[in-house]
Amino acid sequence: MSIQETIENRLKAQFSPERLEILNESHLHAGHLHEESGHDATYDGTGETHFRVRIVSAAFAGKSRIERHRAVNEALSHELNNGVHALAVEPAAPGEATRW
């Protein structure tokens, strides 16, 4: 199972979203420097290391933006500690405006 599929499954199980979109943005970071095994390395843009999560869930109703981000980060803590380098989160409650 891919990391993207794992992220999707975890978020569906945790938040029962009415809308969910997971974008692999790793290719957008090609050429960036990042630390790898204690030294700087140039990232080639392949793989599954940078994601954007767009999620609408009733679980976010009444929660601040920071609380929403923390909840998503907690749900994906295993992935964030094991290879996912960056995670952009766009959370919303039902009925709230989204840019997507």
Q: List average pLDDT for each run of 10 residues in the chain, which is 100 residues long.
A: 96 98 80 51 63 98 98 97 92 95
The answer to whether residue 2 is domain-embedded is no
The residue range of the domain holding 98 is: 16-28+48-100
Write down the pTM of the prediction: 0.82
The answer to whether residue 6 is domain-embedded is no
pLDDT in the model for residue 30:
53
pLDDT in the model for residue 24:
93
The answer to whether residue 65 is domain-embedded is yes
Give the number of domains in the chain: 1
pLDDT in the model for residue 81:
95
pLDDT in the model for residue 42:
47
> 92-96 — which CB contacts under 8 Å span 24+ positions?
92/55, 92/56, 92/60, 93/56, 93/57, 93/58, 93/60, 93/61, 93/62, 93/63, 94/18, 94/56, 94/57, 94/58, 94/61, 96/56
The answer to whether residue 1 is domain-embedded is no
Domain CATH for 24: 3.30.300.90
